[in-house]
Structure 1
Amino acid sequence: MKFGLLWRFRFLLSGLGIACLVVLAGTAYQSKRTAADRTLFAPPGRMISVSGVNHHLYCVGSGSPTLVLEAGLGDNSLTWYPVQSALARNMRVCSYDRPGLGWSDPIDSTMQPEDVARNLHALLNNAGISPPYVLAGHSRGGIYVRAFYHQFPEETQGIVLVDSTHEQSPAHQYPYAAWDYWKQALQMAVAGPLSRVGLIRLMGIADAGRRPSSLPAEVLAAKSAMQNRTDTAHAVVNEIAVMRQGLDPATPPPLSLGKLPLLVLTAGNRVDPGLVEREAGKSGGNIEAEKALAGIQQTEQNDLARLSSNSRHIVVKNSGHFIMQDQAEELVSAVSEFIKPIALRLEGERPTHHSTGPEKEVAQHREFKR
């Protein structure tokens, strides 16, 4: 009896020892690969401090207003790679990384949309990027840019929503919503520990090439490197935690934008019932559930387009959620046409002056290179 207990105790100790060695090895692997990635993939833009936290800001082009690009949940500035340079032919365009994402330093606390907006405003101010601004937000970024307008309306001349999230989206139930939200909770619980020991990196869960993309191979490699950081997993968990607050039925609807110029771009593939039905049939998915979700998304996009009395709504055909990658040329054309009258009006309102240092300096920043 005593021999059996001793054997089990030794077996338990051996197991714990092996587990500790695996954790130590995984942690060392994650740390080494992260350091190597930081050396291999330098930020294309500048590092600007906001309250002691370094933020990556990448600006190209010149002119007024400045177009500010806000990425979606857990995403970084490289998501705008297919369109930023093309948009910058006629204007100054800035993308950036929220804390913990891309090349920006992490923070411990969660950020409400209002916090993201204030942080972005401080970043632009510290970088010498003066208003007026037009802000474009993709997915969750659409909530952030609207929060920016409501805090800084005099500095915001227009908003572009790129397949934007609706504030009440989680509360809009669809047939398998409960399962999706349960998966989110599970992912939040395991993301941090798995990332710290390198398992997320080893399994390729955060790799940018998991979905078809028009991004060049070197950009996908840089995006994967940034997304495999432990800091990124922590930042994504924080953003999801804030997003899940929308599960509360009392979540208020999005606020009116008054007469602010507004462009809403909707991913056609996500709201076309016929296409959704065909794709669900091919993949063996729940056809009725997918059609119900498409109807909810269409309703939400229509609702966002009604936030301003001065809006235009374009459903971009043959595009998934990442319109700036799936239909880059159409996005560039639509946004350029949207900003043109804003720029002309601003030009007529201000006295003629020569470009000053900050704008010239920002316009000379290099393109991303591996």
Structure 2
Amino acid sequence: MTFLLAPRLRYLLFGVAIVSLAAVVGAIYQAERTAADLAAFPPPGRMISVNGADLHLYCLGSGTPTLVLEAGLGENVLSWYPVHAKLAQTMRVCAYDRPGLGWSDPVDAAIQAEEVAKNLHALLNNADISPPFVLVGHSRGGIYVRAFYHQFPEQTQGIVLVDSTHEQSSKHQYPYASWDYRKQALQIEIAEPLSRLGIVRLLGVADADRRPSPLPPEILAAKTALQNRTDTAHAVVNEIAVMRRGLDPATPPPGSLGNLPLLVLTAGNLVDSDLVAREAERAGKNLEAEKALASVQQAEQDDLAHLSGHSRHIIVRNSGHFIMQDQADEFVGAVSEFAKPLARK
């Protein structure tokens, strides 16, 4: 028996050594490539210290109120590239990166929407950008800008929701909802440790050009560099950890915005039942499940539009979730028209 165990033990130790060596090599590769990427793609804006972390703030244009752009889950200032400079022709427009995203430093713990709002308020204050603000929130960012308003209503002159997430979205039931939501969380939780070893980078899982995009190649290259940072995967895990708490039946609905000027932009491709049906058939997805999801999304967007007594709801045709990229000119026109009368107040 002793003679049988010895070779097996040697094979086991040899396997552990190979795996350990591969992990070390992968970690070194990830660190070196990340450093090279950050050198190749420096931040376009300023780094501002907030609670001991440097956050990236990118402002263009001038005037008041200041338009503040809050990106969606895992996104950064580059997601606004098609509209940022165009909007800045008539007003000051500031985009920023939440901790761990884009060029901003990471933080260890998951942060609630209220803390995101406080960080944004401190960032603007530390950068000497005075209120009033018109807040623009895309996807998950829509929750964050509403949290900002509820904490700093006197500094908020208006809100634009861009295909915004609904606070109770994760617990609204439609076929396969719980499984799809948990599958997304599981995938990113697996991706985070793999990103530390350079595996996510090698496989191209986080590359920004994996799907057709209207963004130019140089912006896609910069986005890919940023999304391959280990900090990005960690930041997304943190945000999803907070999002999963929305499954709790005690999660309150979105709070009223009173009579605050509100513009709600909804992605037409995601709520058009005929288009959803054609896409489901083309992709081999469950037709009834996709139609049910479209119905839930339409109801959520309608609910958000009723948060204020002074609101306008526009369904942007021929647009997916990233309205500011798919229909940049229509986006700029709608937001500029919304903000123009606020500048005169």
* Residues 285-332 of structure 1 deviation map (CA, whole Å, 9 limit, x = unaligned): 101100000000000000000000000000000000000000000000
**What residue is the counterpart of 2:46 in the other structure?**
46
For 2:247 and 2:31, the matched residues in 1 are separated by 36
> Per-residue deviation at 1:2?
2.0
**What residue is the counterpart of 1:265 in the other structure?**
265
- The answer on whether the counterparts of 1:68 and 1:93 sit within 8 Å (CA) in structure 2 is yes
For 2:116 and 2:254, the matched residues in 1 are separated by 16
- The DSSP-based 3-state class of the residue aligned with 2:344 is helix
**What residue is the counterpart of 2:104 in the other structure?**
104
> Per-residue deviation at 1:191?
2.3
**What residue is the counterpart of 1:237 in the other structure?**
237
Do structure 1's residue 23 and structure 2's residue 23 form an aligned pair?
yes
Do structure 1's residue 224 and structure 2's residue 224 form an aligned pair?
yes
- The answer on whether the counterparts of 1:191 and 1:237 sit within 8 Å (CA) in structure 2 is no
For 2:193 and 2:51, the matched residues in 1 are separated by 28
Letter of the 2:105 partner, please give it.
Answer: D
**What residue is the counterpart of 1:281 in the other structure?**
281
Letter of the 1:318 partner, please give it.
Answer: N
**What residue is the counterpart of 1:214 in the other structure?**
214
Letter of the 2:328 partner, please give it.
Answer: A
Letter of the 2:26 partner, please give it.
Answer: G
> Per-residue deviation at 1:188?
4.0
**What residue is the counterpart of 1:339 in the other structure?**
339
> Per-residue deviation at 1:276?
0.2
- The DSSP-based 3-state class of the residue aligned with 1:157 is strand
* Residues 219-253 of structure 1 deviation map (CA, whole Å, 9 limit, x = unaligned): 11101101100111110000000011101111100
* Residues 231-286 of structure 1 deviation map (CA, whole Å, 9 limit, x = unaligned): 11110000000011101111100000000000000000000000000010011110
For 1:247 and 1:182, the matched residues in 2 are separated by 10
- The answer on whether the counterparts of 1:55 and 1:103 sit within 8 Å (CA) in structure 2 is yes
**What residue is the counterpart of 2:247 in the other structure?**
247
Identity of aligned residues (%): 72
Q: Which runs of 5+ in 2 are unaligned?
A: none
**What residue is the counterpart of 1:162 in the other structure?**
162
| Higher mean C-alpha displacement, 283-292 vs 180-189 | 180-189
For 1:181 and 1:135, the matched residues in 2 are separated by 27
Compute the TM-score of the two structures, normalised by the length of structure 1.
Answer: 0.92
**What residue is the counterpart of 2:34 in the other structure?**
34
**What residue is the counterpart of 1:14 in the other structure?**
14
For 1:194 and 1:230, the matched residues in 2 are separated by 9
- The answer on whether the counterparts of 2:185 and 2:237 sit within 8 Å (CA) in structure 1 is no
> Per-residue deviation at 1:344?
1.5
- The DSSP-based 3-state class of the residue aligned with 1:170 is helix
**What residue is the counterpart of 1:312 in the other structure?**
312
For 2:179 and 2:199, the matched residues in 1 are separated by 24
Letter of the 1:66 partner, please give it.
Answer: T
> Per-residue deviation at 1:70?
0.2
- The DSSP-based 3-state class of the residue aligned with 2:175 is coil
Do structure 1's residue 65 and structure 2's residue 65 form an aligned pair?
yes
**What residue is the counterpart of 1:348 in the other structure?**
none
Do structure 1's residue 175 and structure 2's residue 178 form an aligned pair?
no
For 1:51 and 1:193, the matched residues in 2 are separated by 26
* Residues 122-156 of structure 1 deviation map (CA, whole Å, 9 limit, x = unaligned): 00000011000000000000000000000000000
**What are the within-5 Å matches in structure 2 for residues 292-303 of structure 1?**
292-303=292-303
**What residue is the counterpart of 1:132 in the other structure?**
132
- The answer on whether the counterparts of 2:67 and 2:135 sit within 8 Å (CA) in structure 1 is yes
For 2:185 and 2:80, the matched residues in 1 are separated by 28
For 2:132 and 2:165, the matched residues in 1 are separated by 24
**What residue is the counterpart of 1:290 in the other structure?**
290
* Residues 308-359 of structure 1 deviation map (CA, whole Å, 9 limit, x = unaligned): 00000000000000000000000000000000111122xxxxxxxxxxxxxx
| Higher mean C-alpha displacement, 47-56 vs 158-167 | 47-56
- The DSSP-based 3-state class of the residue aligned with 1:105 is coil
| Higher mean C-alpha displacement, 27-36 vs 2-11 | 2-11
Q: Which runs of 5+ in 1 are unaligned?
A: 346-370
**What residue is the counterpart of 2:327 in the other structure?**
327
**What residue is the counterpart of 1:190 in the other structure?**
190
For 2:181 and 2:150, the matched residues in 1 are separated by 29
Q: How many residues align?
A: 345
- The DSSP-based 3-state class of the residue aligned with 2:30 is helix
For 2:236 and 2:244, the matched residues in 1 are separated by 12
**What residue is the counterpart of 2:119 in the other structure?**
119
For 1:288 and 1:185, the matched residues in 2 are separated by 24
- The DSSP-based 3-state class of the residue aligned with 1:252 is coil
> Per-residue deviation at 1:211?
1.9
> Per-residue deviation at 1:210?
1.7
- The answer on whether the counterparts of 1:159 and 1:262 sit within 8 Å (CA) in structure 2 is yes
Compute the TM-score of the two structures, normalised by the length of structure 2.
Answer: 0.99
- The DSSP-based 3-state class of the residue aligned with 2:209 is helix
**What residue is the counterpart of 1:352 in the other structure?**
none
- The DSSP-based 3-state class of the residue aligned with 1:207 is coil
Letter of the 1:157 partner, please give it.
Answer: Q
- The DSSP-based 3-state class of the residue aligned with 2:94 is strand
